[in-house]
Structure 1
Amino acid sequence: MSGDSAAVSRLGLCSVTFRHLPAAEVARRAADAGLDVVEWGADVHAPPRERDTVRAVRDVSDRYGLACCSYGSYFRAGAGELAGFPALARAAVLLGAPRVRVWAGGTGSREVTASERQGTVARLREAAGIGADHGLELALEFHAKTLTDTVASTLRLLDEVGAPNLRTYWQPPLDAPDEEALAGLAELGDRVSGVHVFSWWPGNHRLPLADREELWTAVFGHLSEQHPHPDALLEFVPGSDPALLRREADTLRRTVARRSERPARPAGRSH
């Protein structure tokens, strides 16, 4: 693989980074950037009910020597959504993906009612069962306005669902100081199956990955101690510009290689 296997499993790209490009162009650029894997999105590039399209995405991945590490679904475990999950699972298998990204509802942990949370838990548990029947792992999107909007709620949710094939993704929470983000990652421990790698500050202002290299060096230093090692997937580049992918992939490889135990800056802006 590209990168250092002692820190992460594989380096890759979320196809949603370039929703505006055809799948073949996404694959070509990922391969040219020296990446190993792609998380193919279910919204544009690989819709679950379009089997011919999904098969074509698998073929183009194979052509460029890329594996599919994850199927990026938008299943939110909402009422009425479970009927569509078997199609998602079948599409993931067709892609050769070992994992499906799922979402924990559409309401934050502080606003959700007890009955709403129970419903989301029950539907995630059933989806995990369907996934297991197809040999798949599920991973929660770690995201605001869902039940994974905090580390505490994410851990509680994983325990409530109680499915051995359900883990979580991680990404730096919006505007969180480095040490806060890193403390949350440490608390999640080996329940992280992958990290979405991007550089935002302040808010969702997109910066070059190098502008938060200190944070990501510390992230990969922490992940080097975790087993199994997660995937590291580039997501969101400045201006959604495909021409920047090679530069961002080079930064990612450098950051993984120089992973460090050094703590991040004590507070505030992280670069």
Structure 2
Amino acid sequence: MKLGLCSVTFREKSPLQIIRLAKKAGLEAIEWGADVHVIPEDDQLAETIGEQTREEGLVVSSYGSYYRLADYSGNEYDFTSILQTAQKLGAPAIRVWAGMRASADADPCYVQKVIEDARRIADLAADEGITVHLEYHEHTLTDTKESARKLMEKIDHPNLFLYWQPQNDVSVQERLASIELLKSWLTNIHVFHWYSFADRLELKQGEEEWLTYLQAINQNGANRYLLMEFVKGDDETEFLRDAQILHKWREML
């Protein structure tokens, strides 16, 4: 397990500030977000940020694209542009969202459109040696463990995987059950500890449950990134403390 940071954690900071902060925290990677720091179609910027990341001894773990499967009207950029930017950035993986509807609100026609788009972009990315990863996220077709598994089984593509993060408002046991149900597809992990996005906690307060999650996730020994995402108060000092906790957890696994 390698440790990293999602750049969206500090949207107000410049790419160089984020790189230096990640290095100061002893992290190994950055997932660059497409919403602020690495805008699609700005290939020169993507190339520069990728080079700056590597020059500081870090790697680009992934490109957080915010592309929504089958959302043909809402996506600001087409996937071809996103893929090209990921190449310039040097990202081996692209993160996308499984549509824009909750699984409970999605009719079979919509689900089929998501499946077809997932296969399409997974094929395009595979041609460039880049993997595609859905986010395990509310208000999408991967908003429950059951819906996520059903979708992954239907897509059935060797170049499409799934991130994991703790689902809000469910028990630790329910989260562990999601890891067990989805383990065949799980890759990178978004790490945070909160009651909600607006009510965040120090990472050390979640030590007992997070160690349980990571032990379950790490059973197959696969290579993956633990990517810190959002910290209490968007505070740099809090981030550095949380990063040390994450280092400690990795040593305990």
TM class by shorter chain equals: over 0.9
The structure whose RCO (Cα within 8 Å, separation 6+) is larger is: 1
Contact 1:85 1:127 in 2 (8 A): yes
C-alpha separation in 1, matches of 2:209 and 2:198: 16
Q: Which residue does 2:49 correspond to in 1? A: 57
Displacement after TM superposition at 1:223 (Å): 2.3
C-alpha separation in 2, matches of 1:83 and 1:91: 11
> What SS does the corresponding residue of 2:62 show, helix, strand or coil?
strand
Gaps of 5+ in 1: 1-7, 260-271
Displacement after TM superposition at 1:160 (Å): 1.3
Instruction: Give the alignment's Cα RMSD to 1 decimal.
Output: 1.5
Q: Which residue does 2:94 correspond to in 1? A: 100
Per-residue CA deviations over 1:171-229 (Å, capped at 9, x if unaligned) read 00002211111111121113111110000126751100001111111112112212423
Q: Which residue does 1:28 correspond to in 2? A: 20
Alignment of 1:255 with 2:228, yes or no, is: no
Number of aligned residue pairs: 251
Q: Which residue does 1:47 correspond to in 2? A: 39
TM-score (norm 2): 0.95
Q: Which residue does 1:262 correspond to in 2? A: none
Give the counterpart letter for 1:153 in structure 2: S
Give the counterpart letter for 1:170 in structure 2: W
Q: Which residue does 2:109 correspond to in 1? A: 115
Structure 1 counterpart of 2:67, from 75, 81, 89: 75
Q: Which residue does 2:207 correspond to in 1? A: 213
Among the aligned pairs, what percent are the same residue? 35
> What SS does the corresponding residue of 2:31 show, helix, strand or coil?
strand
Structure 1 outlier segments of 4+, above 3 Å: 80-83
C-alpha separation in 2, matches of 1:141 and 1:83: 18
Alignment of 1:239 with 2:233, yes or no, is: yes
TM-score (norm 1): 0.89
Question: Which has a greater percent of strand?
Answer: 2
Per-residue CA deviations over 1:72-101 (Å, capped at 9, x if unaligned) read 001101125597111111111111111100
Gaps of 5+ in 2: none
Alignment of 1:149 with 2:143, yes or no, is: yes
